[in-house]
């Protein structure tokens, strides 16, 4: 069967998400909640797709099953409880842990189990599972916005399913042989280009739709654990469980340097003090206050403290300009695009009415990486201009007097 949604060469993950969301809305293929944009779509036929799961031998053999909390997988959660298997769901946005275990009342009827499988039931009938619980998950079910028959999967853009799986690897709850299943509408089956997939992206082994069961025989490896270079301090603040996992892995001798800590070299703490912004498209050259020689007599803790305080200083921030942004694009959609391209800024200054945005990065080197990552970016057919901002502070201060500007962390 040919895919309902055609993908053109050069598309981004964001382009694919938008095509799927738009198609589902235009064809009225979803139930509440609507619109489906920025969600795992609650597609019509979700319950029927879920009914295919108990027929899989992997489900029959499983004792502990982890299922995402989204509406279209509600029936899968119910079927898991009815089969008297242990049901785990991720904690909301991973703020206070990784898993919650659904514990129905003794002798629960099917109607009570149905309540337990809902979002409210997850809140009312669950208990947290700690990192030391030695949980072994036999089967993982995730939601998707788009998926290919080869097993490539695209979520809604927040990265939680990928991160959840990586965290499960880190705590020993899953391994390369753990089967991953997703359920989608048939229209969500697309020919996703493999080049869009990164090492952190979760692949799937089975796809359930209202009309078919597809075994992907995916040859691409699943995430091997948390890629700390893709995690920043803001994520650590929002997800305390990451702090615990980082401590464990650091103790085990692994490199757990965060994305925004790469300004420090691990061996000799030499500083790239002579790196300057490219002439013509940037601001003034910047240097650390202290040279390596001057810092030689300081303790490591003092050096790190001094360096971090300089990193956060206002004159360290480097702005990147994005122009020719489509009028229909929302700030939340731009955030998703930036995550996909590994170009998350410290702050996002949104000026959508003028078809532009300014991205603040901690230093010129990080900004340069973002410009490179976003090169040749196309959104809804518009080629986006991405370059170091000219007269960045002065221009924005004038614009902010006439237009409301969203100044907020990207991952809020």
- Euclidean distance between CA atoms 188 and 206, whole angstroms: 14
Half-sphere exposure of residue 352: CA atoms within 13 angstroms, side-chain side: 14
**pTM beyond 0.85, yes or no:** no
Give residue 45's pLDDT band: very low, low, confident or very high (50, 70, 90). very high
Better-scored residue on pLDDT, 108 or 272: 108
Q: How much is the pLDDT for 232?
A: 82
- Euclidean distance between CA atoms 279 and 284, whole angstroms: 9
**DSSP state at residue 353:** G
Q: In the predicted model, is pLDDT for residue 398 greater than 90? A: no
Q: How much is the pLDDT for 27?
A: 97
> Domains along the chain?
13-215 (3.40.50.10420), 265-412 (3.30.70.330)
3-state secondary structure 126-190: EEEECHHHCCCCCEEEECCCEECCCCCEECCCCCHHHHHHHHHHHCCCCCCCCEEEEECCHHHEC
Q: What are the tens digits of pLDDT across the range 345-388?
A: 988 999 888 889 999 998 888 899 899 889 888 887 788 999 99
Q: In the predicted model, is pLDDT for residue 104 greater than 90? A: yes
- On whether the CB atoms of residues 89 and 122 are closer than 8 A, the answer is yes
Bridge pairing between strands 86-90 and 382-383 = unpaired
- On whether the CB atoms of residues 396 and 358 are closer than 8 A, the answer is yes
Q: How much is the pLDDT for 219?
A: 85
Q: What are the tens digits of pLDDT across the range 246-255?
A: 999 999 999 9
- Euclidean distance between CA atoms 228 and 224, whole angstroms: 12
Residues whose CB is less than 8 angstroms from the CB of residue 230 and which lie 6 or more positions away in sequence, other chains included: 200, 259, 342
Q: Is 110 left (phi over 0), alpha (psi -120 to 50) or beta?
A: alpha
**Sign of the four-CA dihedral 10, 13, 14, 19:** positive
Task: Name the one residue in this structure whose structure tokens are 């690897």.
Answer: 169
């Amino acid at each position: 069967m040919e895919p309902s949604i055609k993908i053109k060469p050069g598309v981004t993950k964001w382009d694919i998400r938008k095509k799927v969301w738009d198609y589902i809305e235009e064809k009225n293929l979803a139930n509440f909640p609507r619109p489906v944009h920025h969600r795992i779509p609650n597609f019509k036929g979700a319950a029927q797709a879920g009914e295919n799961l108990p027929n899989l031998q992997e489900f029959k053999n499983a004792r502990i099953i982890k299922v995402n909390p989204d509406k279209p997988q509600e029936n899968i959660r119910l079927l898991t409880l009815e089969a008297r298997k242990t049901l785990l769901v991720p904690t909301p946005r991973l703020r206070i842990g990784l898993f919650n275990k659904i514990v129905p009342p003794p002798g629960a009827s099917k109607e009570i189990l149905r309540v337990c499988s809902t979002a409210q039931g997850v809140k009312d009938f669950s208990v947290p599972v700690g990192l030391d619980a030695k949980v072994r998950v036999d089967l993982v079910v995730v939601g998707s916005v788009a998926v290919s028959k080869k097993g490539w999967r695209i979520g809604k853009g927040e990265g939680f399913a990928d991160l959840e799986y990586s965290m499960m690897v880190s705590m020993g709850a899953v391994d390369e042989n753990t089967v991953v299943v997703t359920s989608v509408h048939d229209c969500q089956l697309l020919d996703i280009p493999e080049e869009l997939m990164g090492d952190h992206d979760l692949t799937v082994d089975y796809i359930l739709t209202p009309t078919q069961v597809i075994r992907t025989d995916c040859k691409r490896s699943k995430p091997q654990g948390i890629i700390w270079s893709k995690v920043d301090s803001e994520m650590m603040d929002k997800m305390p469980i990451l702090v615990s996992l980082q401590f464990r892995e650091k103790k085990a001798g692994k490199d757990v340097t965060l994305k925004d800590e790469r300004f420090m070299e691990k061996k000799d703490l030499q500083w790239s003090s002579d790196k300057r912004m490219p002439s013509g498209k940037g601001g003034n050259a910047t240097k650390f206050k202290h040279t390596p020689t001057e810092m030689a007599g300081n303790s490591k803790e003092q050096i790190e403290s001094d360096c971090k305080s300089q990193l956060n200083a206002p004159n360290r921030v480097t702005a990147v300009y994005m122009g020719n942004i489509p009028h229909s694009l929302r700030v939340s959609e731009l955030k998703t695009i930036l995550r996909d391209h590994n170009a998350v800024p410290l702050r996002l200054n949104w000026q959508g009415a003028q078809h532009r945005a300014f991205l603040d990065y901690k230093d010129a080197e990080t900004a340069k990486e973002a410009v490179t990552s976003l090169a040749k970016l196309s959104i809804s057919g518009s080629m986006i201009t991405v370059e170091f901002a000219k007269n960045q502070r002065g221009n924005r201060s004038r614009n902010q007097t006439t237009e409301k500007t969203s100044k907020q962390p990207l991952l809020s």
